[in-house]
């Protein structure tokens, strides 16, 4: 009997083993290799020696002005896009909950950007914000609306280029936030709104007093996921501006790519990747702690 139980207890682990093997090959091994690279002056030439430098690459992080600039750009992207996605996603979810006809179609249209390829979306926005009169945005501003007299150099200046990058980030994630908020809204008992209506609460007051407090855990959870994703921004910057002009729109991942595959400094690139992972983990923990405190307070 005990042998049969032990064999039965082993079977689930045999089913899990292939997944663990894949996880080890594609996640654990690269992490260990990147950590090893970050502690060495890594030479990619086979057979060449890679001197051990310890924490020198990590010390270099705080004295690298370009890295600090890219970090500021990344943080700005995170703040603007996550706030925009949360606000517009919540507004879309609340608006669609009151729609009776065409609700499924509207939800689908809102969600289309989420499943659209980042490459396709980035190329589309690069065309829309083309700095010449051929760009759709400039065509509307100059020829159709007449708001400006000449084309705006959207992608030639850092300030205006970030408008295109931020707009793409927000457009791409609104549908994701909307779906999560719709699911949370549908879990709110209708009796709470009926009680609020009996007390004379308007729809705006019901949203403020009933909906938002009950959505707080979902809002924080969505913010955590969007923040993690926003820190990984790469394709929009790489395809729309390439980090230019003069690295002024560079973000951490595009700078990491430049360090690793153009400068071939894999040791320093490994240190940047671990520093970014630590930063994202710390921010996520702060957000999750805020969520737990909000849940306890509620």
> Mind listing the pLDDT tens digit for each residue in 165-202?
999 999 999 999 999 999 999 999 989 988 988 888 88
CATH superfamily of 57-297: MetI-like (1.10.3720.10)
Q: How confident is the model at residue 5 (pLDDT cuts 50, 70, 90)?
A: very low
Reading the block at residue 118, the tokens are 């980042």
Contacts 24+ apart (CB under 8 A), 237-244: 237/165, 238/122, 239/119, 239/122, 239/123, 239/126, 240/122, 240/125, 240/126, 240/129, 240/155, 240/161, 240/164, 240/165, 240/168, 241/155, 241/161, 241/165
What proportion of the chain, given as a percentage, has pLDDT over 90? 66
pTM, entire model: 0.89
pLDDT score at 134? 84
pLDDT (tens digit, 9 = 90+) per residue, 26-62? 888 888 999 999 999 998 888 889 999 999 999 999 9
Q: How confident is the model at residue 133 (pLDDT cuts 50, 70, 90)?
A: confident
User: How far from each other are the two terminal CA atoms of the chain, in whole angstroms?
Assistant: 50
Instruction: Return the domain boundaries, the chain.
Output: 57-297
User: Rounded mean pLDDT of 144-171?
Assistant: 94
Q: Does residue 245 have a cis bond before it (omega within 30 degrees)?
A: yes
- Beta-carbon contacts of 256 under 8 Å, excluding residues fewer than 6 positions away, are 269, 272, 273, 276
């Amino acid at each position: 009997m005990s042998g049969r139980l032990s064999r039965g207890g082993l079977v689930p682990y045999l089913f899990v083993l292939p997944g663990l093997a894949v996880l080890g090959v594609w996640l654990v091994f690269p992490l260990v290799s990147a950590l090893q690279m970050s502690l060495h002056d890594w030479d990619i030439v086979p057979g060449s020696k890679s001197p051990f430098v310890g924490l020198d690459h990590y010390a270099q992080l705080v004295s690298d002005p370009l890295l600090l600039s890219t970090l500021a750009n990344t943080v700005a992207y995170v703040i603007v896009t996550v706030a925009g996605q949360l606000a517009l996603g919540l507004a879309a979810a609340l608006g669609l909950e009151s729609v009776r006809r065409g609700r499924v179609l509207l939800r689908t249209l809102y969600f289309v950007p989420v499943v659209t390829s980042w490459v396709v979306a980035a190329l589309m926005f690069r065309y829309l914000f083309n700095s010449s009169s051929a760009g759709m945005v400039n065509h509307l501003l100059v020829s159709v609306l007449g708001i400006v007299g000449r084309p705006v150099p959207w992608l030639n200046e850092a300030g205006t280029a970030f408008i295109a990058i931020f707009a793409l980030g927000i457009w791409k994630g609104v549908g994701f936030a909307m779906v999560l908020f719709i699911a949370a809204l549908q879990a709110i008992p209708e009796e709470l709104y009926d009680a609020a209506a009996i007390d004379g609460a308007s729809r705006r007051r019901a949203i403020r007093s009933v909906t938002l407090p009950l959505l707080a855990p979902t809002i924080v959870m969505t913010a955590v996921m969007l923040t993690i994703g926003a820190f990984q921004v790469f394709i929009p910057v790489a395809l729309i501006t390439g980090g230019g002009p003069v690295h002024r729109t560079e973000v951490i991942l595009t700078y990491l790519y430049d360090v690793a595959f153009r400068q071939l400094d894999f040791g320093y690139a490994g240190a940047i990747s671990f520093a970014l992972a630590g930063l994202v983990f710390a921010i996520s923990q702060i957000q999750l702690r805020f969520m737990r405190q909000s849940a306890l307070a509620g």
